[in-house]
Structure 1
Amino acid sequence: MGSCGGPQGGFKVAPGVPLTFSRRPLEPDRVWNVFGGSIIPASNVEIEKLDYHHYLPLFFDGLRETVHPYEFFSRQGVNDMLEHGGPKILPVIPQLIIPIKNALNTRNRQVICTTLKVLQHLVVSGDMVGEALVPYYRQILPILNIFKNMNSE
């Protein structure tokens, strides 16, 4: 991907920045296991017992990853935590806005598509989660405005 010239300069992929997962080496004892379609830490901690204020923003920040296996770890980690989080998700919403905004601002189609799918999952993951995002629309929606008509041209 690169820059699209002319009036579509808004589609230029943002330069890379250090990412949460790929800047850390994979250690054999810390690698996640794939089990039944979900990933679990090698320590076998139950997802429901994880500190959502720490791990959910970390996984959301990982949505910018485009390299395997880091992209998979972040995407699956987000989905697993949203699936099992229930009422733990709502209080973490303010901490998720910057990682969501950063992912959308990459202007990378793969990252944007993944982030939009995660946003769809997020709004149905708990009571009032969709409503809790409303105050943050001004931070999230501008980048989507650039891409809204991309496929209709």
Structure 2
Amino acid sequence: MVLLPPCSPDICGKDFRSSLKKPSPNYPHKTRKCRIVPAFTIQSMQKNTKVLPPPKCGVFDPLPPKPTMFRRCYQRGEFPVCIEFTTSGKRLAWKVPIEKLDFHHYLPMFFDGLAEDALATKRPTVLCHALKCIQMLVTGCDRVGEALVPYYRQILPTLNLFKDRNRNMGSGIDHTTTRGENVADLIEDTLQILERYGGPDAFINIKYMIPTYESCVLN
């Protein structure tokens, strides 16, 4: 009787079970997609995940239009102005002499519309045009600068946002400064005009809304 040696497998059971978990070479290996998860959560600590970037604040985006006193009065036809169509285009015409207007009654309405129709757009070209109009209004009429002090809360927030927003041209030349279209320079000029013509309470109110502003009168 001949005794044969015991049959020993080539691989043990542990190695065989681990080989079953490996992908078959005959089929392509599928990779799992990276999941987008919110930041500061437990999911962000898991494998095969990517943290979602924070949303943009949109501070320079135009504000949504809101119903204001100017719009309501304009739709009801309460303003003593109308738009005339001439051969050269459209122009604004007053129904009564400007000298007889009650500025204490109409000025808040017009500046409410200024904040809605011009400043809320946050477009530099529109802001520059509105700032030039404010400068002409304050310097061209007596006591208008003092009358505007209570309405700084409607005017100055947008100016505070764009006050230091100068374009970095590097070695180039910013031609908007020579054409008077640089919004940051116009804002600084407008604030100085508001302080000069706004009376003794102008600076403290400007400083409250725009902390980085420095007085052009006290200094």
TM-score normalised by length of structure 2: 0.37
How much identity, in percent, do the aligned residues show?
A: 14
CA deviations 1:51-106 (Å, max 9, x no partner) are: 33233362672795444xx466413321122222143112112222212123326x
Pairing 1:115–2:187 present:
yes
- Structure 1 SS opposite 2:61: coil
Cα 1:97–1:15 change in 2 (3 A) is closer
- Given that 2:162 and 2:183 are in contact with CA atoms closer than 8 Å, whether structure 1 keeps it comes out as yes
- Given that 1:104 and 1:111 are in contact with CA atoms closer than 8 Å, whether structure 2 keeps it comes out as yes
Larger radius of gyration: 2
Pairing 1:43–2:99 present:
no
Deviation for aligned residue 1:125: 1.5
**Higher RCO by CA contacts (8 Å cutoff, separation 6 or greater):** 1
1:77-116 alignment, distance < 5 Å: 77-83=133-139, 84=141, 85-104=144-163, 107-109=165-167, 110-116=182-188
CA deviations 1:124-147 (Å, max 9, x no partner) are: 112121132232343xx29x9xxx
Pairing 1:55–2:127 present:
no
Deviation for aligned residue 1:49: 4.4
- Structure 2 SS opposite 1:17: coil
Count residues with an aligned counterpart. Answer: 108
After TM superposition, the structure 1 stretch with the greater mean CA deviation from structure 2, 119-128 or 96-105, is: 96-105
- Structure 1 SS opposite 2:93: coil
CA RMSD of aligned residues (A): 3.9
TM-score normalised by length of structure 1: 0.50
Gaps of 5+ in 2: 1-57, 65-82, 86-90, 168-181, 215-219
Gaps of 5+ in 1: 1-13, 21-28, 32-40, 145-153
